[in-house]
Chains A and B, each alone.
Chain A
Amino acid sequence: MPTPARWLIKTALLHLILGFGLALMRAGQVAGLVPGMASTLWLPQLHILTVGWLTQLIFGVAFWLFPSPAPGTQPSARLIWIAYGMLNGGVLLRVGAEPGLIPESLQTWSLAGTAALQWGASLLLVVHFWGRVRPK
């Protein structure tokens, strides 16, 4: 299995645990055992599971499984690493940037930052994989 695939899949697994952990914490908040409001972390938990886990797992498996790019069209390996950093940075910043967890003055730019990071990662991944969706 190529190195980027292994990093994407292993990081996806870590996100799965983080997502389940947040769900457990929210359950504790609902039961009154953990301080805080359960609704605060609902959207970050959803994004950790859908972006950090599911989407990252998909692209990790696709990196390993999809046909190689046509000769002479090999995209730079740097592209996938930049996408990896942006995707994970964006998802983790999403947790920290949730309104209610940081000062209001920082919310605008932290939410814009997490949006830009995840959007940039998504486009880089599409660019990388587009040429690999082809006959073997």
Chain B
Amino acid sequence: MSTISIWFVRAALVHFAIGATTGAWRLAATGGALPPVPLTLRPLHVEGMLVGWVCQLAFGVALWILPFSDRVSSDRRLWVAWGLLNGGIVSVVGAQWGATPALQIVGRSAEVAAGLLVLWVLWPRVRALPARGHG
């Protein structure tokens, strides 16, 4: 697995652990076994699971497994994308915390930019290879 994929996948696992913890707290709180989750922490579950876990894991695995992965870790666009994605998630969650819509826009913009950078890298790698008997 390439170094950049390791960073994406490990960050995804961290988001998964945090998102699962917040989700379990919310669920237990629904029945009254724990105090309610503060509203400000709720995005940790949805944002963390959807963007931090699923999207980030998909990025990491795609960068590793799609054709032509040589030297992918030396591509600066991907390190910038990693920073933008995770910074974006933190900003979106932080925006809820501080009720600051401007930070929400910053975070969402960073996520869009990260997605575009990954698209820029992956687009030319999604192409036909010489046939290998797959029919």
CB pair B54–A54 under 8 Å, yes or no, is yes
Q: Which of B10, B26, B33, B57 has the most CB of A within 10 A?
A: B33
The total number of A-B Cβ pairs within 8 Å is 74
| Interface residue tally for chain B (C-beta within 8 Å) | 27
Partner of B24 from A99, A107, A108, A118 at Cβ < 8 Å: A118
Instruction: Tell me whether A64 is interfacial, beta carbon within 8 Å.
Output: no
CB pair A119–B21 under 8 Å, yes or no, is yes
Task: Specify the main secondary structure of chain B where it touches its partner.
Answer: helix
| Interface residue tally for chain A (C-beta within 8 Å) | 30
How many angstroms between the C-alpha atoms of A67 and B65 in the bound complex? 12
Instruction: Tell me whether B100 is interfacial, beta carbon within 8 Å.
Output: no
CB pair A111–B28 under 8 Å, yes or no, is yes
* In the complex, chain A residues 112-136 whose Cβ is within 8 Å of any chain B Cβ: 112, 114-116, 118-119, 122-123, 125-126, 129-130, 133-136
In the assembled complex, the CB of B11 is this many whole angstroms from the nearest CB of chain A, namely 10
B contacts, CB < 8 Å to A: 1-3, 6, 9-10, 13, 16-17, 20-21, 23-28, 30-34, 49, 54, 57, 61, 65
